[in-house]
Chains A and B, each alone.
Chain A
């Protein structure tokens, strides 16, 4: 069988699995799934020959037959509870174990619900980019979905936490989340991905930020280093809205995060902060897109990556400023720290600017720890190892310190402290 045929067969089997897991609640959802299924069937499983997947090789996945989970057993639930203990913020939370919503571990309310209890909202599956193969695969077969609906002029004071736990090996799990923040509302969303085995997570989160609304989105990917994680965050921003995200990529054997922000009205504000800290043979890929289409938008992106041992980071940051997007102010910076001779980063800022009255800045830096900084610390009595740790910690903390949810910030600070030891 040719390599192409192997990949086609593999995608087909994933789609079949996905279809098994799909719960259907309405005619709208049925139609949506059928369309998505057809989209997957038209496409191929990505290979390194695809420009979008040049540096992220998924071929090792082909050796594993992933299967959708067969319900949630008591043992699974106990393991999930143990994982949850350190994570829960104790506010509104929705917990999904192996793709299934678990009511007994959740605390719904204040606009947080799950799809199986609602009619599918019209906005589900509608953000641009929904035809991409993994996004369509998720739409064709996700089991349960978290739905956060913040009514007009409502400010949700407590963060809303969505936790996806995968317990077990060779499982194929498709987390799904929909956020609709109506006009002039405000909400903070914490999404967390955790697992303990060699599973495959394929997640999709859609965020609709309506006129003058504000969404703060903290996304933590801390899956087992045996897991393959492919995630999509697709954001649509209406006029005068603000979207601020911090994305933390710490776990997984292979991870890919597609972060896409589409401007749907003038004067939007977009802030994307990201930190990747990986080691061993981990690969973490962040593909971002900020597509402006209206005047007076601002976009500010800072992505920091730390690679140690044989880890491989990938950053592709696209900013699209067409003719209509005049008076836009966009800046993008990607900073990379390589800690070992065999680690690697592939970075590619991609600015596509047609409008003529705009301010756009971008940059990418790749460095090792600066020997002069290490020497400065040593000359004050701090030994070489401790000096290095302090500098790595400082590099990472620039992204951790602004996290507005204190317990998460503290947990991440501890994580980074331990990571640098």
Chain B
């Protein structure tokens, strides 16, 4: 929902970032305000996933210039866990399996790390169990998944639902969904989208990275950005996503070439 009076959550200016000495992000600009849903689309290799990892603070990516401000705070120098407790959440494209760590234990440790960062007491096992069971309903997840190892042996859809469960628990200010829809059947997609929509508040924002317009039928964006060559080359409304779906990216790239 666009509200011009809303406060700015994320402000990215002329961001450049490299991995192993290769520049992937080449001057990216983006402004996200509270209550908004932004979609980022683009071809493979355009830098979408790199952008999400840079926001979350992945150590393999080096920011070479530009700034990222989150709630007015400069993110450079913040460790990944500090970004997380500050309110940034990245739903992974490929959530990792962690054999030997139960999902319940993982979620509790993560939740308590957020509470500690806010100066609150940690919740005990019993209070946490009540809380987490309530959250599993939201993503229609069977509670038996809580006692299995994190993502181990989960189907693609179960892994993505588990990501949304973590989001529901941690209640981020900015949620970045990195191709959360890819590989999902339509039922799983609807469940994931419903979860995301229920979690949306006027004070938080979503950044949805996707290949497919299909997801945007269920999570309706306020803005659609197209990434190419490490920059956002076009920003539009939802209609832009429909145009991309119908006509592909070629026309847009040609338009860019003519403009430059």
Contacts and interface: CB of A to CB of B under 8 A. Distances in A.
B90 A379 contact: yes
Nearest to A397: B100
A378 B84 contact: yes
B254 to A, nearest CB: 38
B101 interface: yes
A281 B29 CA distance: 52
B59 A375 contact: yes
Interface of A is mostly: helix
B96 A371 contact: no
Interface residues of B, number: 29
| Contact count band on A | 20 to 34
B238 interface: no
B242 to A, nearest CB: 32
Given A380-B166, A398-B100, A375 B58 contact: yes
Contacts of B96: 370, 372-373, 376
B85 interface: yes
B212 interface: no
A383 B117 CA distance: 11
A5 interface: no
Nearest to A382: B113
A390 B81 contact: no
Interface in B82-102: 83-85, 89-90, 92, 95-96, 98-101
B100 A381 contact: no
Nearest to B113: A381
Interface in B36-68: 56-60
Interface string A378-409: 11111110110011011111100000000000
A372 B80 CA distance: 12
A395 B113 contact: no
A227 to B, nearest CB: 30
Contacts of B170: 380-381
Interface string A350-387: 00000000000000000000111101111111111011
Contacts of A370: 96
A381 B101 contact: no
B109 interface: yes
B114 interface: yes
A371 B101 CA distance: 16
Contacts of A397: 100
Contacts of B80: 375, 378-379
A71 B96 CA distance: 57
Given A381-B84, A383-B79, A390 B101 contact: yes
B99 A394 contact: yes
Contact of B56 (A379, A386, A390, A394): A379
Which 8 residue pairs across A and B have the least CB separation, nearest first?
A394-B100, A378-B80, A380-B110, A381-B84, A381-B113, A376-B96, A394-B101, A378-B81
12 contacts: A372-B96, A376-B95, A378-B57, A378-B84, A380-B113, A381-B113, A382-B109, A382-B110, A383-B79, A383-B113, A391-B98, A395-B100
Interface of A: 370-373, 375-384, 386-387, 390-391, 393-398
Interface of B: 56-60, 79-81, 83-85, 89-90, 92, 95-96, 98-101, 106, 109-110, 113-114, 117, 149, 166, 170
Given A378-B57, A379-B57, A386-B109, 10 more contacts: A376-B92, A379-B83, A379-B89, A380-B110, A382-B81, A382-B110, A390-B109, A391-B98, A394-B99, A395-B100
